[in-house]
Amino acid sequence: MPVVTSEVRRGAYYDSVVLMQLQRGLLGLAGVIDAGVVMATPANRDLLAANDLMPDVAAGPDDLLVVVKADSDSAAAEALNQVDLLLTRRRAAVDQEFRPRSLQAALGMLPEAAWVLVSVPGRYAASVARDALSLERHVFLYSDNVPLADEIELKHSARSKGLLIMGPDCGTAIINGVGLGFANHVRRGPIGLVGASGTGLQAISSHLHSLGAGVSHAIGTGGRDLKSEVGGITSHQALELLANDPETRVIVIVSKPPAPDVATRLVTAAQSAGKPVVIDFIGYAPPARQLGPVHFAATLSEAAELAVKLVDRENDDRESESGLRPHHASNLADRYVRGLFSGGTLAYEALLSLQAMLVPLYSNAPITNEQLLPDPLRSQAHTILDLGGDEFTVGRLHPMIDNDLRIRRLKQEAADPAVGIVLLDVVLGEGAHPDPAGELAPIIAEITGGQAVEVVAIVIGTEDDPQNLQSQIDRLTQAGATVFRNVTAAVAYVGRLRGRLVSPGFPPVSLDRLNRRPLAAINVGLETFYESLKRQGAQAIHVDWRPVAGGNERLAAILARMKK
């Protein structure tokens, strides 16, 4: 009979990549059936419990919790005995170059760095971002679960200094051809992007690349930037910056539904940009197809196509990409659709289109109150999940890097006899999982081969991405998935399967610092982002960051007061 045992390490901080690697190391040991390695936040404890892995132990959010399910007591004990060895091997594999312990020391080593990438846990991220702003650096703030009040304060501070805060929860940016966070390899070109959406930026930039166009800069803002409380501060700064950039000829703005008052102000600012602007406010009813130099798109792919036409008008007859040809179909009209997305904007675009054909429809990121999924750990009826949502990412790696949670959920959905279609995205590029098809394809083959479930995959990426776009598509297709390159085509296919189709005034950001080449940056947090910068030819320093006072908030507050 399987046994579950655990170990708690008080105040032991490891970044999410280390936790993922340790968990995989444990899963490879003899006799181990399952394993969980997490910081013991309430959300992670709930996820462990949902997988029958939560032991009856006392552990807090700053504690490392290692749980092993094994086929015997001896196998479980031996697995826990291997934890230190696995961690040691991991450290031995890391390049032993000197790594400073503070942001100030890192900037002493690379004073030309204009950017600081921050991907530490959310409760510490605002403090690191404040330090970067005080040192007059732009900030790419990947961290999620940052309080809204901190975001507002940081963005007001950055704006007053003529600096950018991209985030929090900013997953994607491209500056001077270098991708920050999750970004695809796209050619340089005359189209600048502004996005309160990471996967939205990836989808548009990838489609621009496939159309032969290119990107000057892609500036992420974080998903909450267009809320009334924030007021679109970063969006206005980015719009003004690209309007002043001589290398940018057309600007594209993409976001999930903005607050109406913020949308009005941003559209007004776009009209005075002096350049054509394409706006895709997903789910927002535009006032017209065009208002002077401002054009409105209904989908991510349409936004890219319209931008290309505006750059070179003789290409007005260019046809939109329709996706790959489906290889099989079946009648699934009476069964449920379940969507498992790593990209929040891709999930939202799918939800927006599917709500016209699927009733009832639920999500953890709903469009209407009626669509709110009561328990994100359990789907009901038709469900579209954003697995990158805060409830799934507290203390664990984003699903674009770690497929563990999505694989578990994929098995769970396919085992439900009421489910007929599973819709998922596979987002490639720098910072993302090095071989998502390698992990997803065997599960998809198992599902499509042994169960009457159709798997539909949306692959976002380019042929220059490190994962090899065509190889990813081929393996997913061979496993039994029907693959498309955009949400619109995938949703149309789902419909056929079911029998029916369905600013102003902000201080400017210095162009000189933005356009400085090569890009130089300090990375604080996920080591994979540092490695990505180096691969792309950027100058970078990685900070060996640890929580102040070992995560003890009371002691950290005392130290902060002493510092002031």
pLDDT digits (tens, 9 = 90+) for 339-378: 999 999 999 999 988 886 788 999 999 998 999 999 999 9
The answer to whether 385 touches 372, Cβ cutoff 8 Å, is no
For residues 375 and 410, membership in a common domain is answered with yes
Q: Which of 93, 128, 148 is the last residue of a domain?
A: 93
For residues 218 and 246, membership in a common domain is answered with yes
Range of the domain at 214: 169-319
Task: Provide mean pLDDT across the span 384-412.
Answer: 92
For residues 256 and 344, membership in a common domain is answered with no
530 falls within a domain: no
Ramachandran category for residue 115: left, alpha or beta (phi over 0 → left; psi -120 to 50 → alpha): beta
For residues 485 and 450, membership in a common domain is answered with yes
Number of domain units in the chain: 3
For residues 42 and 14, membership in a common domain is answered with yes
Residue 235 parent element (H or E): helix 233-244
137 falls within a domain: no
Cα(151)–Cα(506) distance, integer angstroms: 17
For residues 174 and 314, membership in a common domain is answered with yes
pLDDT of residue 303: 96
For residues 385 and 314, membership in a common domain is answered with no
For residues 435 and 461, membership in a common domain is answered with yes
| Residue 92 in this model has a pLDDT that exceeds 80 | no
Q: Which of 442, 468, 497 is the last residue of a domain?
A: 497
pLDDT of residue 263: 86
Task: Provide mean pLDDT across the span 83-103.
Answer: 72
47 falls within a domain: yes
Closest by Cα among 384, 350, 330, 341 to 496: 330
Lowest mean pLDDT among 140-154, 157-171, 321-335, 393-407: 321-335
15 falls within a domain: yes
Task: Provide mean pLDDT across the span 507-523.
Answer: 87
pLDDT band of residue 17 (cuts 50, 70, 90) is confident
Three-state DSSP string of 348-417: HHHHHHHCCCCCCEEECCCCCHHHECCCCCCCCCEEEEECCCHHHHCCCCCCCCCCHHHHHHHHHHHCCC
pLDDT of residue 396: 84
Query: Residues near 115 by Cβ (< 8 Å), separated by ≥ 6?
Result: 137, 138, 139, 140, 175, 180, 519, 520, 521, 522
231 falls within a domain: yes
The answer to whether 414 touches 450, Cβ cutoff 8 Å, is no
Kindly list the strands in the beta sheet with 482-484, ordered across the sheet, starting from the edge strand earlier in the chain: 361-363, 382-386, 336-341, 419-427, 454-460, 482-484
CB neighbourhood size of 101 (10 A): 11
Q: In this structure, what CATH number is given to the domain that contains residue 295?
A: 3.40.50.261
Q: What percent of the chain has pLDDT over 90?
A: 59
Q: Which of 285, 319, 353 is the last residue of a domain?
A: 319
The amino acid at 503: S
| Residue 44 in this model has a pLDDT that exceeds 90 | no
Lowest mean pLDDT among 123-127, 325-329, 441-445: 325-329
Three-state DSSP string of 176-233: CCEEEECECCCCEEEEEEEEECHHHHHHHHHHHHHCCCCEEEEEECCCCCCCCCCCCH
For residues 273 and 370, membership in a common domain is answered with no
513 falls within a domain: no
The amino acid at 315: N
Length of the chain: 564
Q: In this structure, what CATH number is given to the domain that contains residue 32?
A: 3.30.70
Please list the alpha-helical segments (H only) found in 32-164.
Answer: 42-50, 73-81, 83-93, 103-109, 122-134, 148-161
pLDDT of residue 135: 96
The answer to whether 282 touches 255, Cβ cutoff 8 Å, is yes
Cα(409)–Cα(404) distance, integer angstroms: 9
pLDDT of residue 199: 93
pTM equals 0.77
552 falls within a domain: no
For residues 20 and 60, membership in a common domain is answered with yes
